[in-house]
Amino acid sequence: MKNKKIILFLLTVLMCINIHAQKPILFIGATAHLGNGKVIENSIISVSGEKFELIGNASTVRIDPTAFDTIYKIYGKHIYPGFIIPNITLGITEIGAVRATRDYREVGKFNPNVRSLIAYNTDSKISKTVLSNGIMIAQVTPRGGVISGQSSIMHLDGENWEDAKLKADDGIHLNWPKSFYSTGWWAEPGGMKKNKHYNEKVEEINTLFEKAFSYFKSNSAIDLKMESMKGLFSGEKTLYIHSNKANDMRDAIKFTKKYNIKNRVIVGAEDALKITTLLKNEKIPLILNRIHRLPSTQDRPIDYPFTQAKKLTDEGILFCLSYEGDMEAMGARNLPFTAGTTIAYGQEYEDAVKSISLNTAKILRIDNLVGSIEKDKQATFFISSGDALDMRSNNVEKAYINGKEVDLIDHQKLLYKKYKKN
């Protein structure tokens, strides 16, 4: 028994020595889109362990080739930071028509204690497909009720939810009531109708927050729901307010000021261009609705969702892109192409990259770790032989999470190979 312990100890020491002795790896020649708005045409990037070490121009930087374990010459290709998708049900839903695979909604109206983290399924076939398009991090978000629960930020690769976790319980999601709602349905939309119960529903939210705020300032007996909300008032968590109409967003912002909630994000924000001054004064960022859709009202131009990103950029408002809506989990793979659509409607290329990388990281408060290719940040990135924002040329060849290469084989690729032979 004693000998076994000694052998185990020696093996552990040898493994540690091997890890520390491993030399950095080097990528040279690609066009590097750093995610912060900058681009290096002939880049040189090194990864040491889990982090970026050297980032520069290969034309001016001199290196010692013997200092690197592996050198990848990837001339003509593109390097991007791992894209981040917020407000998505990836990993907590699989087949929409099969109830047993939908684990994104809890019963009840107010569920701040519900955690998407522990429901996250690392074996999801959808997540692997999304990863193949360069989306490497997701804010896994519950749905339903007035307060849906707590989201968590996950890597789209890992043995289990603990392994995949990047940031646990980053915020609470509040579905703000609608003062007006659309009648009809998507095929035959009707007019707008006033919600007679709007004030009543707002008062319900106010009552809950009053109770939670009092709990925060007291030493009451443990209440799981109230305990989960304490982080909103201390600044540890973000309040994600799901709202689209201008008046509703104004009411929600006013509401948060009453309780001194500093970290606020508006999700949806279709009418954001109507309240740009308020958003800038309050320094509130936005997670926009999916771009590949029709406007929600008949009086708006057909290209309104496509042009909104450029207009918000010009206004200096921090925002990122999402993919919430019908079939969102399986459709999440199209996130880079929605960013590409904004380019066709005026957005600068590198600004489009920011809207699915560094901007998202800033809004989720993880920009010290990921979101851009910068020294000492986590080496989460991918290499594409073509333009990652163009579905015609995007082809992710290699991907790394925390400096570790991930397997890009997914269910769709396996099916393609299977039926190609026949």
Q: Is 405 part of a structural domain of the chain?
A: no
Long-range contacts of 219-224 (CB under 8 A, 24+ apart): 224/113
CB 13 within 8 A of CB 20: no
- Mean pLDDT computed over every residue of the chain: 92
| E-assigned strand segments in 248-354 | 264-268, 286-288, 319-321
Closest CA to 34 of 361, 394, 283, 347: 361
Q: Looking at residue 13, what is its pLDDT?
A: 53
Phi, psi angle pair for 108, to nearest 5°: 100, 165
- Within 8 A by CB and 6+ apart from 182, the residues are 189, 190, 191, 192, 193, 296, 297
Distance (Å, whole) CA 62 – CA 406: 29
What local confidence, expressed as pLDDT, does residue 4 receive?
Answer: 61
- Residue 379 within a domain: no
Residue 138's DSSP bridge partners are 85, 154
- Encode pLDDT of 61-100 as tens digits: 988 888 898 999 999 999 999 999 999 999 999 988 888 8
DSSP 176: P
Q: Does 60 reside within a domain?
A: no
Q: Say if 385 falls within a structural domain.
A: no
Which pLDDT belongs to residue 52? 97
Burial class (CB in 10 A: 0-12, 13-18, 19+), 230: middle
Q: In the numeric block, which tokens belong to residue 204?
A: 């319900």
- Domain that residue 162 falls in: 83-371
- In a domain, residue 411? The reply is no
pLDDT tens per residue, range 368-389: 999 999 999 999 999 999 999 9
| Residue found by looking up tokens 């982090």 in the block | 51
100 in a domain, yes or no?
A: yes
Per-residue pLDDT reduced to its tens digit, 115-138 = 999 999 999 999 999 999 999 999
The span from the CA of 26 to the CA of 226, in Å, is 49
Measuring CA to CA, how many Å separate 177 from each of 149, 166, 195, 197, 284? 16, 31, 9, 9, 19
What pLDDT score was predicted for residue 184?
Answer: 77
- Per-residue burial over 50-80, b if 16 or more Cβ lie within 10 Å, else e, is ebbbbbbebeeeeeeeeebeebeebeebbbb
Q: What is the rounded CA–CA span in Å between residue 143 and residue 224?
A: 19
pLDDT at 3: 62
Looking at the structure of the chain, the number of domains it has is: 1
pLDDT at 99: 86
- Report the pLDDT value the prediction gives residue 17, as an integer from 0 to 100: 45
pLDDT of residue 2: 56
Q: How far apart are CA 162 and CA 186, in angstroms?
A: 40
Complete DSSP assignment for 41-54: SSEEEEEETTEEEE
Q: What is the pLDDT of residue 376?
A: 96
pLDDT value at position 20? 47
Q: For position 295, which CATH number holds?
A: 3.20.20.140
3-class state of residue 129 by DSSP:
helix
Asked if residue 367 is part of any domain, the answer here is yes
The per-residue pLDDT for 298 is 80
Report, as ranges of residue numbers, the positions in the chain whose pLDDT lies below 50: 17-20
Rounded Cα distance between 253 and 264, Å, is 8
Q: What is the DSSP string of 179-195?
A: SEEEEE-SSSEEEEEE-
User: Which region holds residue 97: left if phi is over 0, alpha if psi is between -120 and 50, else beta?
Assistant: alpha
Nearest Cα residue to 117 out of 95, 96, 91: 91
- Burial class (CB within 10 angstroms; exposed 0-12, middle 13-18, buried 19+) of 219: exposed
Q: With beta carbons less than 8 A apart as the criterion, state whether 164 and 122 touch.
A: yes
How far from chain centre, in Å, is Cα 155? 10
Q: Which long-range contacts (CB under 8 A, 24 or more apart) does 416-421 make?
A: none
In this structure, is residue 389 part of a structural domain?
no
Q: What b/e sequence results for 158-185 when a residue is b if at least 16 CB atoms lie within 10 Å of its CB, and e otherwise?
A: beebeebbbbbbbbbbbbbbbbeeeeee
